[in-house]
């Protein structure tokens, strides 16, 4: 029973991280209909920035709380800056091109960013400092739920609530929803669509960076390649929930996280990634619109 | 006066852009931490490089944009680079084309005798990528289906030969068609479920498929010998004659030349066939294409199967050439390289793909000191080509009927 609960919580933790990344995919897809292939790399860059800032601060002897806050802030700022720049460089000039062009451009951007970090930093695995301490009150539950799992769950929940409020009740959120519904119409009622697209990229990137910081501190190591697998899995989660739908992305992430956790726990850990990819292929074959997505009919 | 002010404006703009990039790349380019030794390395020189590079590149990009606009407004007729116009004039004129083809063929045939076997091995690799590029060109360039898991079929071919040889001692020439057909059937296997998917979903599913194949090869040790791979795969046989290493390499080289010629011939014929035109129609507009009575299912499946067939054949050749294979040779990056070849050369254009493969494979070999920037450059090429020249180096020119008015004779 304990094993089951442990797997359940570890699935929720995985799911939370996937959710933080998947939101970026689904929001961008909802607005410009593009699979932002480079999103996984933004997450990786967030983790690297957090690593660099946290290491520098800890060498200079800052207290732990200050390190956590500053490195989280730096990760979010720089990841957003990268997300913004990538959009301006690689996607904006292709807004009216055929469907294939922005996708190829996105793949190129993903390879470019990976190798940029590889060249500028290192190809080795780097030991990420443990930013989240073991809380004494968690000792009783330590065998099923670690402190960092708890922090990840809570942070994700807070991020979701903030995002929901932002999208439902603010002017920017309203403009984002309008742009997602109909770009031309949004332009006609005076919404600066380019700005909304930039904001979407910035929000998505910041969420991914927070995910990167949390998972890096949880696992304890990072590498320039982590964005690729995480990106594909988060994309799987977004498709599972119905791409373009924000609650769908969260639901899909938890389903994927739990599936992976139980599959590796009870079947075999060698095929961890195979489960995720097979799930992706199966969903796309049987229900391409996902769990909560609207099925679209293509009109001439 | 206006020239000067606009020039200052451009400089100003580029300066701001370079400031932005300095900020953007600051943590990753400048700081390098060793968290075990607890030392920080500040690389301020990198900051200067970033500033200079982004300043110059932004000016250059701006200049290209203006140049393109003025050219588009002044001269509509003349499009394409000078080189491209030259190549098209050669392709269009059958006499020039035949002469060029003969020259290239003659050079290719004497190549192994005039260069060292090291050069020949590199050339074999380049030729393999030519065929792979042409195979992927069927799927991506002609049928417009973005396949990111192309390397999976390559792996199927390579493992077919390796395993058949390991278990049943089957030779290269028997394994060759088996590898190709098996890869083609994998193509159909993948094609069936994804037929209904739109372009971008298709890309992800094929990517997932490619990864699944690689992960299975890596983890199913009993079947595929896992990450350690299979070694001692024999090179192609020549009626049982024992060849020295140099001769074996030359032999593979000539096999590859033959493959390239056959592939060019077949792809060229396919392009103008009923099937090829159906692919192009499907790429342009699926619904209109179905309305014209083209069977979407069959057309897409043949594209997948034919593309996969070539990858499978090349997989067999790869296994025979390297005599050792393991799953690490079949990562996503390999798919990305082949895709870069097709995109750089020009989607759908045969000459373009050949040129793209030669440039992308030979250049890093001869510019060894730049080899660590290779993948970085591939990524940049994909982005830059899409932004500045989506049709590729040598754009594919569709056959068009031209009506030329006969000049009336003046009396």
- The full set of domain ranges for chain A reads 12-239
Q: Tell me whether A119 touches chain B (CB under 8 Å).
A: yes
Name the pLDDT band for A112 (thresholds 50, 70, 90): very high
| Residue B376, min C-alpha distance to chain A (Å) | 5
Buried b (16+ CB within 10 A) or exposed e, B252-283: bbebbbebbeebbeebeebbeeebbbbbbbbb
Name the pLDDT band for A299 (thresholds 50, 70, 90): very low
Question: Would you call A100 and B144 a contact, using CB atoms and an 8 Å cutoff?
Answer: yes
| Residue A89, min C-alpha distance to chain B (Å) | 9
Instruction: Give the span between the Cα atoms of B347 and B356, in whole angstroms.
Output: 10
Instruction: Give the span between the Cα atoms of B4 and B112, in whole angstroms.
Output: 57
**Predicted TM-score (pTM) of this structure:** 0.85
Interface subset of A 179-208, CB within 8 angstroms of B: none
DSSP state of B238: B
The closest alpha carbon to B399, from B144, B81, B91, belongs to B91
Q: Is the pLDDT of residue A103 over 50?
A: yes
Domain boundaries, chain B: 10-73, 115-388
Q: Is the pLDDT of residue A296 over 70?
A: no
Question: Would you call A104 and B343 a contact, using CB atoms and an 8 Å cutoff?
Answer: yes
Instruction: Give the span between the Cα atoms of A20 and A42, in whole angstroms.
Output: 12
Q: Spell out the residues 6+ positions from residue B162 whose beta carbon is closer than 8 angstroms to its own.
A: B230, B233, B319, B325
Kindly state the tokens that stand for A47.
């983790």
Instruction: Give the span between the Cα atoms of A150 and B7, in whole angstroms.
Output: 56
Q: Could you tell me if B151 and B330 are in contact, meaning their C-beta atoms sit under 8 angstroms apart?
A: yes
For residue A221, which residues of chain B lie inside 8 Å, CB to CB?
none
Interface test with A, best of B200, B220, B340 (most A CBs within 10 A): B200
| Residue B236, min C-alpha distance to chain A (Å) | 34
Instruction: Give the span between the Cα atoms of A209 and A232, in whole angstroms.
Output: 16
Task: Look at the block and give the residue holding tokens 């590149």.
Answer: B57
For residue A285, which residues of chain B lie inside 8 Å, CB to CB?
193-194
Kindly state the tokens that stand for B122.
């590199």
Beta bridge partners of residue B33, listed in sequence order? B40
Q: Could you tell me if B342 and B137 are in contact, meaning their C-beta atoms sit under 8 angstroms apart?
A: yes
Instruction: Give the span between the Cα atoms of B374 and A239, in whole angstroms.
Output: 32
Q: Count contacts between A and B (CB, < 8 Å).
A: 168
User: What confidence tens digit (pLDDT) does each residue in A180-238 have?
Assistant: 888 888 899 989 999 999 999 999 999 999 988 888 888 888 888 888 888 888 888 88
The stretch A107-112 carries a mean pLDDT of 90
Q: Could you tell me if A297 and A52 are in contact, meaning their C-beta atoms sit under 8 angstroms apart?
A: no
Q: Tell me whether A115 touches chain B (CB under 8 Å).
A: yes
Cα dist from B390 to A58, B57, B69, B133, whole Å: 47, 19, 16, 17
Q: Spell out the residues 6+ positions from residue A286 whose beta carbon is closer than 8 angstroms to its own.
A: none
Q: What is the three-class DSSP state of A221? A: strand
- Measured on CA atoms in the order B380, B384, B390, B393, is the torsion positive or negative? negative
Determine the pLDDT at residue B77: 47
Instruction: Give the span between the Cα atoms of B15 and B12, in whole angstroms.
Output: 5
Kindly state the tokens that stand for B191.
């094609």
DSSP element (H, E) containing B42: strand B39-42
Q: What is the three-class DSSP state of B241? A: strand
| Residue A258, min C-alpha distance to chain B (Å) | 20
Q: Could you tell me if A35 and A173 are in contact, meaning their C-beta atoms sit under 8 angstroms apart?
A: no
Buried b (16+ CB within 10 A) or exposed e, A258-289: bbbbbbbbeeeeebbbbbbbbbbbebbeeebb
Taking CA–CA distances from A101, the nearest residue in chain B reads: B386
Interface test with A, best of B38, B204, B327 (most A CBs within 10 A): B204
Taking CA–CA distances from B344, the nearest residue in chain A reads: A104
| Residue A59, min C-alpha distance to chain B (Å) | 6
Interface test with B, best of A46, A112, A235 (most B CBs within 10 A): A112
Q: How many degrees, rounded to 5, is the angle at CA B341 between CA B339 and CA B346?
A: 100
Instruction: Give the span between the Cα atoms of B65 and B185, in whole angstroms.
Output: 46
Mean pLDDT for chain A overall: 85
Name the pLDDT band for A300 (thresholds 50, 70, 90): very low
- Measured on CA atoms in the order B166, B170, B171, B174, is the torsion positive or negative? negative
Kindly state the tokens that stand for B156.
């199927």
User: Angle at which helices B2-25 and A64-86 pack, to 10 degrees?
Assistant: 140
Taking CA–CA distances from B290, the nearest residue in chain A reads: A300
Instruction: Give the span between the Cα atoms of A96 and B48, in whole angstroms.
Output: 35
Question: Would you call B200 and A121 a contact, using CB atoms and an 8 Å cutoff?
Answer: no
Least CB-CB distance to A104: which of B40, B211, B382? B382
Determine the pLDDT at residue B404: 65
The stretch A236-263 carries a mean pLDDT of 87
Determine the pLDDT at residue B6: 79
Instruction: Give the span between the Cα atoms of B309 and B267, in whole angstroms.
Output: 12
Q: What is the three-class DSSP state of B234? A: coil
ipTM metric:
0.84
Q: Could you tell me if B154 and B314 are in contact, meaning their C-beta atoms sit under 8 angstroms apart?
A: yes
Beta strands at A126-127 and B31-34: parallel, antiparallel or unpaired: unpaired
Q: For chain B, how big is the Rg over CA atoms in Å?
A: 25
| Residue A169, min C-alpha distance to chain B (Å) | 32
User: What confidence tens digit (pLDDT) does each residue in A133-177 have?
Assistant: 777 776 666 666 778 888 889 989 999 899 989 988 999 999 998
Determine the pLDDT at residue B115: 79
The closest alpha carbon to B318, from B134, B174, B202, B162, belongs to B162
For residue A97, which residues of chain B lie inside 8 Å, CB to CB?
386, 390
Average pLDDT of each block of 10 consecutive residues along chain B (411 residues)?
76 88 86 79 85 88 82 58 67 75 81 80 90 91 86 91 85 88 90 74 82 84 78 74 76 89 90 88 84 86 91 91 86 86 83 87 76 82 83 70 61 52
Give the highest mean pLDDT range of A72-81, A123-132, A216-225. Answer: A72-81
Question: Would you call B205 and A114 a contact, using CB atoms and an 8 Å cutoff?
Answer: no
């Amino acid at each position: 029973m304990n094993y089951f609960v442990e797997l359940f919580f570890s699935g929720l933790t995985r799911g939370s991280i996937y959710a933080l990344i998947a939101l970026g995919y689904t929001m961008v897809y909802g607005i410009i209909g593009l699979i932002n292939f480079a999103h996984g790399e933004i997450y990786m860059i967030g983790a690297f920035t957090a690593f660099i800032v946290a290491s520098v601060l800890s060498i200079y002897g800052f207290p732990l709380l200050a390190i956590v806050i500053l490195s989280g802030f730096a990760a979010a700022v720089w990841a957003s800056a990268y997300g913004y720049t990538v959009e301006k460089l690689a996607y904006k000039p292709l807004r009216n091109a055929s469907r294939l062009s922005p996708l190829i451009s996105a793949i190129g951007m993903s390879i470019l960013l990976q190798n940029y970090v590889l060249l500028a930093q290192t190809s080795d695995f780097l030991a990420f400092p443990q930013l989240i301490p073991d809380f004494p009150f968690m000792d009783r539950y330590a065998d099923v739920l670690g402190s960092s799992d708890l922090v990840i769950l809570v942070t994700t929940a807070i991020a979701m609530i903030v995002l929901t409020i932002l999208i439902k009740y603010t002017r920017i959120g309203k403009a984002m929803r309008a742009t997602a519904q109909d770009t031309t119409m949004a332009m006609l009622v005076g919404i600066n669509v380019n700005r909304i697209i930039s904001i979407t990229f910035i929000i998505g990137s910041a969420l991914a960076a927070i995910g990167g910081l949390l998972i890096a501190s949880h696992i304890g190591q990072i590498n320039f390649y982590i964005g690729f697998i995480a990106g594909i899995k988060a994309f799987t989660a977004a498709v599972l929930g119905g791409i373009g739908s924000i609650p769908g992305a969260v639901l899909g992430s938890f389903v994927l996280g739990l599936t992976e956790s139980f599959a590796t726990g009870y079947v075999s850990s060698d095929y961890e990634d195979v489960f995720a990819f097979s799930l992706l292929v199966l969903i796309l074959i049987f229900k391409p619109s996902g769990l909560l997505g609207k099925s679209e009919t293509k009109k001439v | 006066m206006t020239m000067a002010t606009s020039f200052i404006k451009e400089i100003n703009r580029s300066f701001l852009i370079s400031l932005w990039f300095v900020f953007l790349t600051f943590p990753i380019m400048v700081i390098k931490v060793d968290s075990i030794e607890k030392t920080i390395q500040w690389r301020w020189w990198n900051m200067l490089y970033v500033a200079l590079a982004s300043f110059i590149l932004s000016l250059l990009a701006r200049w290209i944009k203006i140049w393109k606009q003025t050219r588009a407004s002044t001269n509509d007729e003349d499009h394409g680079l000078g080189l491209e116009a030259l190549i098209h004039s050669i392709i269009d004129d059958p006499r020039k084309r035949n002469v060029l083809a003969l020259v290239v063929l003659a050079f290719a045939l004497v190549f192994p005798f005039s260069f060292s076997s090291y050069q020949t091995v590199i050339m074999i690799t380049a030729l393999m990528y030519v065929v792979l590029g042409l195979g992927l060109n069927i799927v991506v360039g002609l049928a417009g289906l973005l396949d990111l898991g192309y390397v999976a079929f390559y792996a199927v071919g390579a493992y077919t030969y390796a395993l058949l040889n390991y278990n049943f001692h089957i030779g290269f020439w028997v394994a060759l068609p088996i590898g190709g057909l098996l890869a083609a059937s994998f193509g159909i296997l993948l094609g069936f479920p994804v037929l209904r998917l739109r372009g971008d979903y298709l890309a992800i599913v094929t990517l997932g498929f490619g990864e699944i194949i690689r992960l299975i090869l890596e983890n199913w040790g009993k079947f595929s010998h896992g990450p350690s791979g299979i070694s001692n795969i024999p090179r192609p046989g020549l009626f049982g004659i024992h060849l020295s290493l140099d001769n074996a390499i030359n032999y593979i080289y000539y096999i590859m030349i033959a493959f390239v010629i056959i592939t060019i011939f077949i792809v060229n014929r396919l392009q103008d066939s009923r099937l090829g035109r159906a692919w192009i129609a499907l790429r342009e507009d699926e619904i209109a294409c179905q309305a014209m009575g083209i069977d979407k299912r069959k057309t897409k499946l043949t594209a997948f199967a034919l593309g996969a067939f070539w990858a499978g054949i090349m997989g067999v050749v790869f296994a025979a050439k390297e005599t050792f294979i393991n799953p690490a040779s079949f990562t996503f990056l390999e798919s990305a390289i082949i895709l870069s070849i097709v995109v750089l050369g020009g989607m759908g254009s045969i000459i373009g793909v050949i040129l793209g493969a030669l440039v992308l494979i030979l250049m890093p070999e001869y510019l060894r000191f730049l080899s660590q920037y290779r993948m970085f450059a591939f990524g940049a090429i994909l982005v830059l080509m899409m932004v500045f020249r989506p049709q590729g180096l040598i754009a594919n020119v569709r056959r068009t009927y031209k009506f030329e008015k006969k000049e009336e004779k003046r009396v």
